[in-house]
A and B are shown apart, each in its own frame.
Chain A
Amino acid sequence: TVGCVVVDSQGRCAAATSTGGLTNKMSGRIGDSPLIGAGTYACNMCGVSCTGEGEAIIRSTLARDVAAIMEYKGYKLQEAVDFVLNKRLDEGKAGLIAVSNHGEVAIGFNTVGMFRGWVTENGIMEVKIWD
């Protein structure tokens, strides 16, 4: 699975996710990536893209929950990302990337490693795999 989230200089957020799904999956199986609110979500506050155990991400509507936690609990972006990964996934394994309309980036995962990278306007660019 691959994904990208962006906030532009006008504070507009967007998200996109794309995948081949699972190796040896049954034909016709749908994962979290195409499901709005599960693998992908964007609103005026943030953009989120998830990856990992599709069934767990779907059940927890992981991407929408980041936005909901920010909206209803007033959490900041990284707090919301940490909360959903710790409290919503049950035993599921997943990772997600997110941006806020304030130019913040947040990334979280509970798997062994995650292919990820980010860059912000103040020039910081990082690409990582392990913790």
Chain B
Amino acid sequence: MGKGEWAIAVHGGAGVHPNLPKESQYKAKQLLTRCLQLGVDALRLSQSALDVVELIVRELEIDPIFNSGRGSALTAKGTVEMEASIMDGVGRRCGAVSGLSTVKNPVSLARLVMDKSPHSYLAFEGAEEFAKQQGAETMDNSFFITEENLHMLNLAKQQNSIVFDYRIPSTNNVSMEKMNGLPMKIYAPE
């Protein structure tokens, strides 16, 4: 690596259940590979680092494989409350949103907060209002909720655990005691 060389890194979350099916692992790797390639193509077209991080996170948000955007973990009420942030190293400008339930790409709303509002963080109904003003794409809440998420929520409720490893096999015979050597109930991956 040297000055003037580009690089991209991407993640889909830390903390993976050791028994995650091979098929799920394969799909996750496919998505990450596709996102990296998307970023490489954009950098080769001289897009900025800021545009490329937004582009890649948008792609990850619309795919239900990971816990963000579509495929988000569910609250105790069975709804989604999504959050995101973005930061530009040039001038350390930043934008963040929380408590979103209809915005298709939370990271792009965070970018709009950074570029088009006098603030750096908007949340819940204020953020949803800003999204409408800015014409950000919104979806019905059901767009974000998947069968797998509902199943995870039920498992978490059975365990009476507020924190839960999101990425566990959906079969019921999953050992629920330990994750990373810690009791599942205190483990809090996101």
Q: Does B56 contact A (CB under 8 A)?
A: yes
Q: Which residues of B contact A127 (CB under 8 A)?
A: 29, 32-33, 36
In the complex, A21 Cα to B98 Cα: how many Å?
A: 10
Say how far A31's CB is from chain B's closest CB, in angstroms. Answer: 5
Other-chain contact of B68, A9, A18, A22 (Cβ < 8 Å): A18
Say how far A92's CB is from chain B's closest CB, in angstroms. Answer: 8
In the complex, A124 Cα to B47 Cα: how many Å?
A: 20
Q: Is A5 touching B9 in the complex (CB atoms < 8 A)?
A: yes
In the complex, A16 Cα to B39 Cα: how many Å?
A: 13
In the complex, A91 Cα to B97 Cα: how many Å?
A: 28
Q: Which of B1-44 contact A (CB under 8 A)?
A: 1-18, 20, 25, 28-29, 32-33, 35-37, 39-40, 43
Q: Produce 1/0 per residue, A21-54, CB < 8 A to B.
A: 1111111111111111001111111110101111
Number of interface residues of B (CB under 8 A): 97
Other-chain contact of A115, B6, B66, B76, B162 (Cβ < 8 Å): B66
Given known A-B contacts A23-B74, A27-B79, A93-B15, A8 and B162 have beta carbons under 8 A apart: no
Q: Which residues of A contact B166 (CB under 8 A)?
A: 22-23
Say how far A12's CB is from chain B's closest CB, in angstroms. Answer: 5
Q: Does B128 contact A (CB under 8 A)?
A: no
Q: Is B189 touching A52 in the complex (CB atoms < 8 A)?
A: yes
Q: Produce 1/0 per residue, A119-130, CB < 8 A to B.
A: 111100101011
In the complex, A97 Cα to B188 Cα: how many Å?
A: 18
In the complex, A47 Cα to B57 Cα: how many Å?
A: 14
Q: Is B85 touching A40 in the complex (CB atoms < 8 A)?
A: yes
Q: Which residues of A contact B94 (CB under 8 A)?
A: 36, 40, 42
Given known A-B contacts A8-B49, A18-B82, A51-B13, A118 and B7 have beta carbons under 8 A apart: yes
Q: Is B13 touching A115 in the complex (CB atoms < 8 A)?
A: yes
Question: When A and B form their complex, which 6 residue pairs have the shortest distance between CB atoms, in order from nearest?
Answer: A20-B72, A95-B14, A115-B12, A103-B5, A113-B16, A13-B89
